[in-house]
């Protein structure tokens, strides 16, 4: 269960699988198409809205103690983009429009992967609330404080002594932080509804290469 096991929580979280995998996220053996996937709600209702905005962009951080790993996610009109970084420099991106495109900003190359297998949503496209929605055991939410637009809840899964803490922003109607024991957390920062259409295009000067050539870098 995600609340009693930090590794399980990591699997449920959207951005962690990209950032933790490093370069390996560009080497899938069987790329699949991206499309929204319906998620059944938990048996106990969540006391706040959990629907992502159709248009937004933000930084997503995986925090372990003093260490932070950042990704950036944007979506607009059915299109999406996720970027990973080395320090402050963007290294790689995945853009989904009417087709799937992978970008390598170091070599200034891009490629379109073969699309096979079942149509499913990759784990890095979901939002901070995914782990809550995927939890099948009854969960108990206890509101422990409010500060401005921020509401703070402890979350306990039935039959477990472990708990986590969720911070929900009522102004954007999204979870912005999920904290676990041991200084482990997921956080969303720099949220904005302003998304430029240009970010979903391949930058000028990038060279298209075959997929088998692209994944070797």
| Domains of the chain as residue ranges with CATH | 6-214 (2.50.20.10)
Q: Which of 105-119, 156-170, 178-192, 193-207 holds the top average pLDDT?
A: 193-207
pLDDT at 118: 42
Distance CA 51, CA 82 (A): 19
pLDDT at 137: 57
Lowest mean pLDDT segment, chosen from 36-40, 108-112, 159-163, 172-176: 36-40
Distance CA 149, CA 49 (A): 14
The closest alpha carbon to 169, from 192, 151, 187, belongs to: 151
| Band (116; pLDDT cuts 50, 70, 90) | low
The yes-or-no verdict on residue 121 having pLDDT over 70 is no
Condensed to tens digits (0 to 9), the pLDDT of residues 7-56 reads 333 333 333 333 333 333 333 333 333 333 333 444 447 888 777 788 99
How do 109-111 and 139-147 pair as beta strands? unpaired
Q: What is the DSSP letter of 121?
A: -
pLDDT at 111: 94
The yes-or-no verdict on residue 100 having pLDDT over 50 is yes
pLDDT at 198: 97
For range 72-82, the mean pLDDT: 93
pLDDT at 130: 53
Burial class (CB in 10 A: 0-12, 13-18, 19+), 58: buried
The yes-or-no verdict on residue 91 having pLDDT over 50 is yes
pLDDT at 181: 84
pLDDT at 87: 87
Rounded to 5°, the CA angle 9-15-20 comes to 80
pLDDT at 131: 52
């Amino acid at each position: 269960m995600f609340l009693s096991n930090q590794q399980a929580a990591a699997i449920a979280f959207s951005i962690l699988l990209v950032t933790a995998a490093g370069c390996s996220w560009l080497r899938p053996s069987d790329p699949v198409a991206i499309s929204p996937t319906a998620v059944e709600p938990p048996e106990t209702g969540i006391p706040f809205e959990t629907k992502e905005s159709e248009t937004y962009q933000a930084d997503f951080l995986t925090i372990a103690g003093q260490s932070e790993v950042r990704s950036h996610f944007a979506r607009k009109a059915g299109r999406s983009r996720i970027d990973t970084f080395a320090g402050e420099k963007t290294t790689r991106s995945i853009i989904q429009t009417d087709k799937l495109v992978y970008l390598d900003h170091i070599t200034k190359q891009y490629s379109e992967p073969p699309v096979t297998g079942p149509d499913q949503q990759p784990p890095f496209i979901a939002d901070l609330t995914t782990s809550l929605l995927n939890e099948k055991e009854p969960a108990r939410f206890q509101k422990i404080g409010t500060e401005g637009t921020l509401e703070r809840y402890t979350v306990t899964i039935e039959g477990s002594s472990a708990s986590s803490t969720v911070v929900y922003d009522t102004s954007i109607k999204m979870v912005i932080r999920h904290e676990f024991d041991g200084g482990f957390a997921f956080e969303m920062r720099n949220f904005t509804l302003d998304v430029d259409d240009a970010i979903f295009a391949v930058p000028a000067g990038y060279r298209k290469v075959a997929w088998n050539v692209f994944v070797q870098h």
